[in-house]
Structure 1
């Protein structure tokens, strides 16, 4: 299953192939077998298909399923954790029993049906069933994901390491190209196209289904033409390694400490010196990986917590070009494609010259990731500041709309006077406890109630109705979602019974929002998109465009309709506006986390494959799956703890944790390098004795 952490898995495979020094002609390395070339096409559409779902699903949970950010985060990462755990199970089944391609052919079609179920259930909004199907899909995705990755690598002869390196690089770049394309198109599909009177998320889901059917057809074509190399299942080294370690532990408890040796040495009589040595190497590398889950705790957040933060930021580049919250994720693959050649051509050669060892490079990646978290702290601080409405809990803000043809006077609880002209608005702040705002018309006084509105703004419209001085009052919604605006209607004897008001998006498909009339009361807020809109009045016989205006992120707008001298008059006024930070401020955390990713992932792949015995590489791949899964578990725990707390503290804690994990990796790397010297001397001495 394609996840952002797939990058690490490809880097691990690349690292093994790049150890070759064989020199071949330039064009030879691009003469891939037919099956390998076909799988490059498969990888392009596969990356697009699954990313079309994972990109928008967190936003879908919060905007349509009405999950809280914390609940959506927990579910998203529970799904990811299940997938990575099941990758290990799928690898065992594929390697030992069914074979790789058969595993794919069994589980992939079922997964297609699951995504088709997501599409259907999203239309009918049966969310409980949808969630169940998504979890089943996570299991299936893990079952065939590792098998398919290995099957892709099987298509290149093992002896042609140069071609294998080129092929894996090509797979990686093509996959990222597909992600970049769908990362730009996907948010536009659900935000700018409306179906069933809502954002068209089902269109994203059916796109995933169609792309998965296409990828399955590509594999089917290769099988029909017999272009693929198919390897039969063999014994699974992961199980044998666990058995060897288990046997060593059993002997350790039965026989006690091994004087002058390692407790794994007890297993040499059953598994042999070389295999036990390999197991000890794996244990050392796994011990080195202890700090890695914290890195993935931050890295995996890009699809969830970071996207949720982007929702509370201003994505308007111009009135007509808007970056969506889920658009910003595309920065990661774009920056990866840009930074990797820069690192390969300049940074890594310099580090090689100064002998800056690989384990320390991995920890540098974690330090850069800590810097990215620090920028997320800054972003969240400015978001929190922008969401404050400036009122104390003991105060109420009052906005008064004068719906009369003559001026009135607004008097606050401190007896300060403000004259409100006809059809004008004035604002004041009063104490919430026992105080009222007063309207004066000539010698008359009229009180406006602010009961139960402490810490909020209210809007009051004052008007004459059949010669009776009256008003309507409603709380102003404190808009705190940067991805949307909210609009409501106040109709004071303006619209006839058959007339309705609509907001039509200037760009997009079916972006029409009906503003509900409520007599002479305030209508309900209607959740709208942002950008340029046309306000039109529709009746049975006509459609009349009244005005065109721009709705900004976090804006609460009032459309005020009244009758003046027998003519329909329409005004718009901003009730509340949040000045959210611009979404492009997330560029800096994405830049630093991507630098951290390139340092961390590339060098982790190089280190694991250069240190691991040839027979143990799949075991270390399984260990990496567990690190990623543990990272997802940590996110779930942190989301649960911080659900009722400020997200600012969440990012502060992540900054501290990932920095500490970098220190841990530095120390463990130093320990491993020293232990490696001792272990190599020990195996050399034992080999000499056997000779």
Structure 2
């Protein structure tokens, strides 16, 4: 057996030419990606509506978490290559991962503490502390195993199985996107369910619990396959070797500054006193590519806002697609669906057509176009946000009050405010400057009334005068639900309920608590103490608010609902979620041209034994991009969301211009050719040279488009 032939590993079972061990790795990856993306899909809404953080803080913590997930791969690579090996690293960090997911599920159980009437836990500090611990463990787990799993799968193949190895990476890529797609579809449905012992609210424990269970399954499946794996012992971390070489070059450069030392062609040449020329040449190639990475984080700053700002934008939109409703966090599923569609279209149709038109679309030009498409996606998001803002109610300023007068009588009664012309209550809000007014009803004695500045109020009155003043919402109902309250103008108490909740008995001339009702047809049952029943139906949209008046002439019978009057406080969302598909389409096209091309370019331009170094560098750009988002979210003073979208788009366009200039001066290289020059002159034995030559191009042929 020559050294060019792969050493075979006896006793490892195969099926159709493939190691059976890869089955366990693929299933593990599917379950892990389901766990990660499922948890992440509902995370920003958990921050916003369970922990009650505002949009900016929810966005900041979300992107801090994502940044940590892409910083920890460096730690995982060091542990695997220098200490534990890939298998033990995956197992140990998966245990940490599982614990983190379980802690997140426990943190979202609202019944572990008392809750207010709106479902907010009284002891929020406990939930916040558990959530932060869970997210830190998850970031360590998912990031730590990220650089290990794919490489461990590649280790299962021998050199004569190059075709099977390539197919494995395609299946591996498919498992990633399948896990992402299914989890983004399922976990928002789980979140939208109601659960709880003492109080019912959205079921975040289930939305986090199912991903936790899938992560446990991923760990068990991976461990079961242990006896079939090929496990190489750690051989030292290349990343650490590169960093030491760079550090020595910098240190030596400043140590030996002076005329007695000859100048070097490249500053890395100062490392020749300690390191061989082959390693230095490889480091030069890596640094050349890493320099191009500097502008790239700006793309990820926009890309990862699909799970934060774009999801929050969807909460103010209409998700009724006819046969089904789409939850705001489910819109993220558009991205993996479009990826599966767009990747083969770009590879098999768009790029070949461009090539036939004799257009030289180099990898760096593709990356530039990808960034511009992402910027265009944010322009689309800004235009959509402007349309959404036009449909929002005009709430009062801090010096104004908005008042609606609601007549509980079955006949018209004129109202006069501070000597103005009398008017009949129409159900519309009137805006007043100031806070103290005299109000008279039907020519009766005027009554001094205070209207709260900056508030919306409903004044209930009948022939006897003003009965009560209600505080109305001055913002859209959360998560697209509808806010309903009933006013009993009837002569006896009424019990009002739906299939899932009871508003309780409402005394005459009194009002019920605000009740959150989901979109669609809702039947309200109205009953009196004698047991008489009336069914009243409302067809509700998304994000509306109504005050429903049961008037004094209400009666039970066949047409009992005819006299019931609905007054609209906040109109439902009118801009449809389908409009978000435009920005998702542009962003996905940008992702395909940017991410897939970037990975392929990086591997093609990297030395044979430093592919993992550039992979770590690529993941680092994702982390830095998320740091950019949290800085803008915290430091930004833009009041309008559309303006923030335009700001991000403008920044990315500026970065694209800088990158295109850097790309213009970049010279493409052949790493194998450069390495061959040094290998030929190295006084190493023939065996080592043969092995190096066979490994040189193996990894670049395996690079597949990956949802990182």
Tell me whether the two structures share a fold, i.e. TM-score over 0.5: yes
Tell me the equivalent position of 2:179. 178
- The answer to whether the 8 Å contact 1:458/1:474 transfers is yes
CA offsets per residue over residues 297-338 of structure 1, 9 Å max, x none?
0111111121111112221223x6221110100000000000
Tell me the equivalent position of 1:358. 363
Within 1, Cα distance between the matches of 2:268 and 2:347? 39
Q: 1:440 to 1:289 in 2, by over 3 A?
A: same
Tell me the equivalent position of 1:461. 460
State which of 218, 221, 228 in structure 1 corresponds to 2:221: 218
Tell me the equivalent position of 2:329. 326
State which of 105, 112, 133 in structure 2 corresponds to 1:119: 105
Shift of 1:563: 4.5
CA offsets per residue over residues 253-312 of structure 1, 9 Å max, x none?
122386361111111232111111111111111101111100010111111121111112
Shift of 1:472: 1.7
- The answer to whether the 8 Å contact 1:476/1:576 transfers is no
State which of 535, 540, 546 in structure 2 corresponds to 1:551: 540
SS of aligned partner of 2:428 = strand
Structure 2 residue 351 is matched with structure 1 residue 348: yes
Q: 1:573 to 1:34 in 2, by over 3 A?
A: same
- The answer to whether the 8 Å contact 1:396/1:450 transfers is no
SS of aligned partner of 2:325 = coil
State which of 78, 87, 94 in structure 2 corresponds to 1:101: 87
Shift of 1:554: 2.1
Structure 2 residue 516 is matched with structure 1 residue 527: yes
Within 2, Cα distance between the matches of 1:233 and 1:624? 23
Structure 2 residue 626 is matched with structure 1 residue 605: no
Within 2, Cα distance between the matches of 1:158 and 1:44? 26
CA RMSD of aligned residues (A): 3.0
Tell me the equivalent position of 2:496. 501
- The answer to whether the 8 Å contact 1:500/1:539 transfers is yes
Within 1, Cα distance between the matches of 2:186 and 2:90? 28
SS of aligned partner of 2:480 = coil
Q: 1:309 to 1:267 in 2, by over 3 A?
A: same
Tell me the equivalent position of 1:507. none
Q: 1:539 to 1:452 in 2, by over 3 A?
A: closer
Within 1, Cα distance between the matches of 2:554 and 2:326? 44
Within 2, Cα distance between the matches of 1:155 and 1:517? 70
- The answer to whether the 8 Å contact 2:264/2:270 transfers is no
Within 1, Cα distance between the matches of 2:468 and 2:92? 64
SS of aligned partner of 1:316 = coil
Tell me the equivalent position of 2:27. 41
Shift of 1:680: 11
CA offsets per residue over residues 470-501 of structure 1, 9 Å max, x none?
332223213424522111232235553xx532
Within 2, Cα distance between the matches of 1:638 and 1:56? 22
Structure 2 residue 298 is matched with structure 1 residue 294: yes
Q: Say which is worse superposed, 519-528 or 389-398, in terms of deviation.
A: 389-398
Tell me the equivalent position of 1:139. 140
Within 1, Cα distance between the matches of 2:682 and 2:17? 46
Within 2, Cα distance between the matches of 1:682 and 1:186? 50
Q: Aligned residues, how many? A: 642
Tell me the equivalent position of 1:18. none
Within 2, Cα distance between the matches of 1:513 and 1:151? 56
Within 1, Cα distance between the matches of 2:183 and 2:677? 56
Q: 1:42 to 1:448 in 2, by over 3 A?
A: farther
Shift of 1:435: 7.0
Shift of 1:592: 0.5
- The answer to whether the 8 Å contact 1:412/1:430 transfers is no
Shift of 1:383: 2.1
SS of aligned partner of 1:527 = strand
Tell me the equivalent position of 1:473. 469
Counterparts of residues 608-687 of structure 1 (less than 5 Å): 608-642=602-636, 645-673=639-667
SS of aligned partner of 2:525 = strand
Shift of 1:434: 6.3
CA offsets per residue over residues 488-545 of structure 1, 9 Å max, x none?
232235553xx532233xxxxxx53636847744444233322221112467996946
Within 2, Cα distance between the matches of 1:688 and 1:210? 53
Q: 1:682 to 1:256 in 2, by over 3 A?
A: farther
Q: 1:450 to 1:609 in 2, by over 3 A?
A: same
Instruction: For structure 2, list consecutive stretches of 5 or more residues without a partner in the other structure.
Output: 1-13, 114-125, 684-708
Within 2, Cα distance between the matches of 1:388 and 1:665? 43
Within 2, Cα distance between the matches of 1:66 and 1:82? 23
Within 2, Cα distance between the matches of 1:176 and 1:494? 61
TM-score (norm 2): 0.84
Q: 1:666 to 1:542 in 2, by over 3 A?
A: farther
Counterparts of residues 537-576 of structure 1 (less than 5 Å): 537=526, 544=533, 546-564=535-553, 570-576=564-570
Within 1, Cα distance between the matches of 2:159 and 2:415? 84
- The answer to whether the 8 Å contact 1:413/1:435 transfers is no
TM-score (norm 1): 0.86
- The answer to whether the 8 Å contact 2:427/2:567 transfers is no
Shift of 1:30: 7.4
SS of aligned partner of 1:327 = helix
Instruction: For structure 1, list consecutive stretches of 5 or more residues without a partner in the other structure.
Output: 1-27, 505-510
Tell me the equivalent position of 1:6. none
Shift of 1:64: 0.8
Structure 2 residue 374 is matched with structure 1 residue 408: no
Q: 1:30 to 1:369 in 2, by over 3 A?
A: farther
Within 1, Cα distance between the matches of 2:396 and 2:147? 55
Shift of 1:100: 0.7
Shift of 1:648: 2.0
Structure 2 residue 66 is matched with structure 1 residue 80: yes
- The answer to whether the 8 Å contact 1:289/1:665 transfers is no
Q: Say which is worse superposed, 281-290 or 255-264, in terms of deviation.
A: 255-264
CA offsets per residue over residues 155-197 of structure 1, 9 Å max, x none?
2334433322221111112221222222222211111444340
Structure 2 residue 193 is matched with structure 1 residue 198: no
Shift of 1:585: 1.2
Q: 1:541 to 1:619 in 2, by over 3 A?
A: farther
Within 2, Cα distance between the matches of 1:542 and 1:173? 59
Tell me the equivalent position of 1:483. 480
Q: 1:122 to 1:683 in 2, by over 3 A?
A: closer
Within 1, Cα distance between the matches of 2:475 and 2:552? 29
Within 1, Cα distance between the matches of 2:214 and 2:679? 54
Q: 1:543 to 1:503 in 2, by over 3 A?
A: farther
Shift of 1:357: 1.3
- The answer to whether the 8 Å contact 2:93/2:145 transfers is yes
CA offsets per residue over residues 397-446 of structure 1, 9 Å max, x none?
432221123321134568444345xxxx44363532367474442x4354
- The answer to whether the 8 Å contact 1:489/1:516 transfers is no
SS of aligned partner of 1:449 = strand
Q: Say which is worse superposed, 58-67 or 110-119, in terms of deviation.
A: 110-119
Within 2, Cα distance between the matches of 1:682 and 1:137? 41
